[in-house]
Structure formats: C-alpha cells, structure tokens
C-alpha cells in the first residue's frame, strides 16, 4: 500500500472491548466502579501517609508516589473510554492519541522504577539496618524519585517522537480501549523497524534491569532473613516486605501477561483484557494489598478518618 500523508491524518477509532450495545452499560458500570475505587483507595493512602508523622519514612515516601502514579495511570485511559461509551463516539484525534500514549508510557515506566526503589529500601533496611538512616536519607530518596521521573519522561518522549515519523494507512481502527504503542504501530504503512528496535532495547534496559535489581535485592533479603535464629524474628523481618512483594508479583505478572498474550495469540480481545489487568486492575488492587497487610497504614487510616469525623 502507498503510505498516506500524515499531515492529512486526523483520528483513530478505539474499538474497546465489545461492539454489542447490550454490553455497553455493564462495561461502563464496571470500569467506572474500578476507576472510583482506584482513585479513592490510592488517595486515602496518600492522605494517611501525609497526615501521619510516623509514616514519614523512605518506604512510605515511595508508597505515596506509587499511589499517585497509580491514580495517573487509570486517569490516562479509563475516563476517555467511559466518555466514548456515553457518547457512542469511538474516535480519538491523532494528537490526543499521542498524548494518551505518552502519559501511559510515562506512568507505566514510573511504576517500574518506584517498585525497584522500594525493593532497594527493603534491602537496605534488612541487610544493612545500622546504616539505613545514612543510606536512605531524605535527599537520596528524593533523588531516586527525581531520576525515575526524568528517565520515564525521556523514555515516553522518545517513543512518541518516533511515532510521529511514521505514516498510517487507510485502516485507523485500534483494537484496544486506549492508544497502546504496539497497537498503533500495527496500523502504520511505513517502515517501523527502528520503532520496534527501540521498544526491545528500552524493554531490556528499563524493564529487565529494574527487575534484576528487585530479584537481587530479595535474594539478599532472603539470605539475611534465613540467618535470623528465631522464627518470630524471621516472620517480623519478612512481614515488612510482604506487601511490596505482592505488588511486584501483581505488576510483573500482569505486565508479562500483556506481552505473552501479544506474542502467543492473534486475538485482539485477549490482548485487550490482558492490558486491562495491567493498566486498570493492578492499580485498583494495590491499595487493598497495602491496607490489608500493613498495620501501620491501617492505623494511619483510622486516625485520619477519626480526625475527619470529629472535625465535622
């Protein structure tokens, strides 16, 4: 096919999950409920951490940023889908598609780096407790978050700039509920070899390296915990990592599910469901994991809610 003129290209069509009219109401209610739970749950964690001086520690500093990023992830994708269901308008402009792609890549990358920083924090706390205050100082924690933002901003900007150099054919239908980079590239009638090389390179660099750091941190943590003589001491040490470890498994499990479904099947529906698990369900479950498994967060939430109730 002859490449189209990109200057004349105006919009994509997002096909969402289902084209059946009788299912649109259920989809709207389901995703609206998940979106509200995600925003409220993560917002409560941020407010509880911010209002309780006992939680002004590196671990909860990173957790508050993770909660903010989780809110941003779902806000990037879900409201547009809900609006398209309400208005029955599945179109998204070329510019808005690039913006949505940019912010989704940004916040997904930030999630990855923050989980790595949290693993490093637990590694220092358990393996080097006497040096913890010096190593995980407020300046170091702020620097880790700042570097995470800078790298994520540059990564998402680079991907989006590479998309602007390609042209699109007559097929503008994206079989997804948001502008996913891989799905957008499939619609191109230009040579996308460099785009895919960039994706694989960045995935190896910014995906595998942080995961390797997490695995190394927990291997050292497990080694240190096994050296603790008492069973109670081992449980207490490992309990401080339980919530974070659960979130790591959930994040990477759904992330790998997206890539495995993309490579192992040609079903757009299966890829969309896998992406929804990663982009919507995971941010919704994170607050539950941290509140159900963390006594400090529970107590902070009770104190925060009590202060609000008594102030009215």
- Within a domain: residue 113? yes
Specify the pLDDT at position 301: 84
Kindly tell me the sign of the dihedral angle through the C-alpha atoms of 284, 287, 290, 294.
negative
Specify the pLDDT at position 175: 83
Residues belonging to the chain: 312
- C-alpha–C-alpha distance, residues 64 and 253, integer Å: 22
Number of domains in the chain: 1
- Within a domain: residue 267? yes
Beta bridge partners of 188: 168
- Within a domain: residue 258? yes
Taking only the tens of pLDDT, the chain with its 312 residues reads 344 444 456 789 988 776 677 778 888 999 999 999 999 999 999 999 998 888 899 999 999 999 999 999 999 999 999 999 888 888 999 999 999 999 999 999 999 999 999 999 999 999 999 999 999 999 999 999 999 999 999 999 999 999 999 988 777 888 888 999 988 998 888 889 999 999 888 888 888 889 999 999 999 999 988 888 888 877 777 777 888 888 998 888 888 777 665 555 455 677 778 888 888 999 999 888 888 777 888 888 888 888 877 766
| CATH number of 282's domain | 1.20.1070.10
Structure tokens at 300: 């902070």
Q: Structural domain of residue 266, as residue ranges?
A: 9-311
Specify the pLDDT at position 112: 93
Query: Based on C-alpha coordinates, what's the Rg of the chain?
Result: 21
Specify the pLDDT at position 72: 96
Kindly tell me the sign of the dihedral angle through the C-alpha atoms of 296, 299, 300, 301.
positive
Residue with tokens 């979106």: 35
- C-alpha–C-alpha distance, residues 124 and 224, integer Å: 11
Question: How buried is residue 219: exposed, middle or buried, by Cβ count under 10 Å (0-12/13-18/19+)?
Answer: exposed
- Within a domain: residue 119? yes
Question: How buried is residue 23: exposed, middle or buried, by Cβ count under 10 Å (0-12/13-18/19+)?
Answer: middle
With beta carbons less than 8 A apart as the criterion, state whether 244 and 115 touch: yes
Convert the chain into a string of H (helix), E (strand) and C (coil). Answer: CCCCCHHHCCEEEECCCCCCHHHHHHHHHHHHHHHHHHHHHHHHHHHHHHHCHHHCCHHHHHHHHHHHHHHHHHHHHHHHHHHHHHHCCCEEEHHHHHHHHHHHHHHHHHHHHHHHHHHHHHHHHHHCHHHHHHHCCHHHHHHHHHHHHHHHHHHHHHHHHHHHCCCECCCCEECCCCCCHHHHHHCECCCCHHHHHHHHHHHHHHHHHHHHHHHHHHHHHHHHHHCCCCHHHHHHHHHHHHHHHHHHHHHHHHHHHHHHHHHHCCCHHHHHHHHHHHHHHHHHHHHHHHHHHCHHHHHHHHHHHHHHHHHC
- Within a domain: residue 295? yes
Nearest of 161, 198, 201, 163 to residue 180 by alpha carbon? 163
- Within a domain: residue 65? yes
Structure tokens at 281: 């369900």
Specify the pLDDT at position 236: 76
Specify the pLDDT at position 261: 59
With beta carbons less than 8 A apart as the criterion, state whether 73 and 281 touch: no
- C-alpha–C-alpha distance, residues 71 and 38, integer Å: 7
- Within a domain: residue 1? no
- Within a domain: residue 2? no
Cα 272-278-280 angle, rounded to 5 deg: 85
């Amino acid at each position: 096919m002859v490449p189209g003129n990109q200057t004349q290209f105006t919009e994509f069509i997002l096909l969402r999950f289902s084209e059946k009219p009788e299912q649109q109401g259920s989809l709207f209610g389901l995703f609206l409920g998940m979106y509200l739970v995600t925003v409220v749950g993560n917002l409560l964690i941020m407010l509880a951490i911010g209002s309780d001086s006992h939680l002004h520690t590196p671990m909860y500093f990173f957790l508050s940023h993770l909660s903010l990023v989780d809110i941003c992830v779902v806000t990037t994708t879900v409201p547009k889908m809900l609006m398209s269901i309400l208005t029955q308008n599945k179109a998204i402009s070329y510019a808005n598609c690039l913006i949505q792609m940019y912010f989704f890549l940004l916040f997904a990358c930030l999630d990855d780096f923050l989980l790595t920083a949290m693993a490093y924090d637990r590694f220092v706390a358990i393996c080097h407790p006497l040096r913890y205050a010096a190593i995980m100082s407020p300046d170091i924690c702020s620097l880790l978050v700042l570097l995470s933002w800078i790298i994520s901003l540059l990564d998402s900007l680079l991907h989006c700039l590479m998309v602007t150099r390609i042209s699109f054919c007559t097929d503008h239908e994206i079989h997804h509920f948001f502008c996913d980079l891989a799905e957008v590239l499939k619609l191109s009638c230009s040579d996308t070899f460099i785009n895919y090389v960039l994706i694989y390179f960045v995935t190896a660099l910014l995906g595998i390296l942080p995961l390797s750091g997490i695995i190394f941190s927990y291997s050292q943590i497990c080694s240190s915990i096994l050296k603790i003589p008492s069973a109670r001491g081992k449980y207490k040490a490992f309990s401080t990592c339980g919530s974070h470890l659960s979130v790591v498994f959930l994040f990477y499990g759904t992330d790998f599910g997206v890539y495995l479904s993309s490579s192992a099947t040609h079903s757009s529906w299966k890829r969309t469901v896998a992406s929804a698990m990663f982009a919507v369900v995971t941010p919704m479950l994170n607050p539950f994991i941290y509140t159900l498994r963390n006594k400090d967060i529970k107590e902070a939430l009770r104190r925060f809610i009590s202060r609000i109730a008594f102030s009215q």
